[in-house]
Amino acid sequence: MAGSASTPPQSDKLPVFEVACEEAVTKARAVLDAHTVETMAWHFHESTGCPFWLEYAKGLPFNPLTDVKGFDDLKKFPPFEDEWLRGGPVRRWVPQGLADQPMYVFETGGTTGTPKSRVNSRDFRTDYEMFSDTLPDRYFPRGANWLMLGPSGPRRLRLSIEHLAQYRGGICFCVDLDPRWVIKLIQKGWMEHLEAYKQHCIDQAITILEAGHDIRCIFTTPKLLEALALALEKKGTTIGKAGITGIFSGGTEFTPQWTRFAVEELLDGTYMTPTYGNTLMGLAASRPVVPADGYTIAYYAPQPRAVIEVVDFDDRDAVVSYGGTGRVRLTTLTKETFIPGFLERDEGERERPYVAYPWDGISGVRPFRELAATTTVGVY
Query: Using CB under 8 A, which of 144, 185, 244, 266 touches another protein?
Result: 266
81 binds another protein per the rule CB under 8 A: no
Count the residues of the shown chain that bind another protein, applying the rule CB under 8 A: 19
For another protein, give the closer residue by CB, 136 or 294: 294
Q: How far is the CB of 277 from another protein (least distance, A)?
A: 21
Q: What does 224-275 look like in DSSP terms, one character per residue?
A: HHHHHHHHHHHTT--TTTTT--EEEEE-TT--HHHHHHIIIIISTT-EEEEE
Query: Using CB under 8 A, which of 265, 315, 317, 370 touches another protein?
Result: 265
Q: Of the ranges 5-13, 57-65, 239-247, 256-264, which one interacts with another protein (CB under 8 A)?
A: 256-264
- Cα 310 to Cα 316: distance, rounded to the nearest angstrom: 9
Handedness of CA 288, 292, 293, 297 (dihedral sign): positive
Q: How far is the CB of 275 from another protein (least distance, A)?
A: 19
310 binds another protein per the rule CB under 8 A: no
Q: How far is the CB of 4 from another protein (least distance, A)?
A: 30
Query: Using CB under 8 A, which of 88, 235, 294, 317 touches another protein?
Result: 294
Q: Of the ranges 2-10, 37-45, 228-236, 273-281, which one interacts with another protein (CB under 8 A)?
A: 228-236
- Cα 4 to Cα 29: distance, rounded to the nearest angstrom: 8
Query: Using CB under 8 A, which of 12, 23, 138, 257 touches another protein?
Result: 257
293 binds another protein per the rule CB under 8 A: no
Which H helix or E strand runs over 216? Answer: strand 215-220
Contact 299, 285 (CB under 8 A): yes
Query: Using CB under 8 A, which of 44, 93, 254, 258 touches another protein?
Result: 258
Angle made by CA atoms 7, 10, 16, in degrees to the nearest 5: 120
Q: How far is the CB of 295 from another protein (least distance, A)?
A: 6
Which H helix or E strand runs over 311? Answer: strand 306-311
256 binds another protein per the rule CB under 8 A: yes
261 binds another protein per the rule CB under 8 A: yes
For another protein, give the closer residue by CB, 69 or 235: 235
Write phi, then psi, for 258 (nearest 5 degrees).
-65, -40
Query: Using CB under 8 A, which of 82, 233, 293, 312 touches another protein?
Result: 233
Q: Of the ranges 125-133, 206-214, 254-262, 324-332, which one interacts with another protein (CB under 8 A)?
A: 254-262
372 binds another protein per the rule CB under 8 A: no
370 binds another protein per the rule CB under 8 A: no
Number of other residues whose CB lies within 10 A of the CB of residue 145: 17
Write phi, then psi, for 187 (nearest 5 degrees).
-65, -30
Q: Which amino acid is at 137?
A: D
Contact 231, 202 (CB under 8 A): yes
323 binds another protein per the rule CB under 8 A: no
Give the per-residue contact string, 207-226, with another protein (x = CB under 8 A; - = no): -------------------x
95-102: long-range pairs with CB below 8 Å, 24+: 95/42, 95/43, 95/48, 95/49, 95/50, 95/335, 95/336, 96/46, 96/47, 96/48, 96/49, 96/50, 97/42, 97/47, 97/48, 97/49, 97/335, 98/335, 98/336
Q: How far is the CB of 265 from another protein (least distance, A)?
A: 6
Query: Using CB under 8 A, which of 86, 213, 260, 316 touches another protein?
Result: 260
Buried b (16+ CB within 10 A) or exposed e, 8-33: eeeeeeebebebbeeebbeebbeebb
Contact 106, 124 (CB under 8 A): yes
Give the per-residue contact string, 175-204, with another protein (x = CB under 8 A; - = no): --------------x-xx--x---------
Residues that bind another protein (CB under 8 A): 189, 191-192, 195, 226, 230, 233-234, 253, 255-258, 260-261, 265-266, 294-295
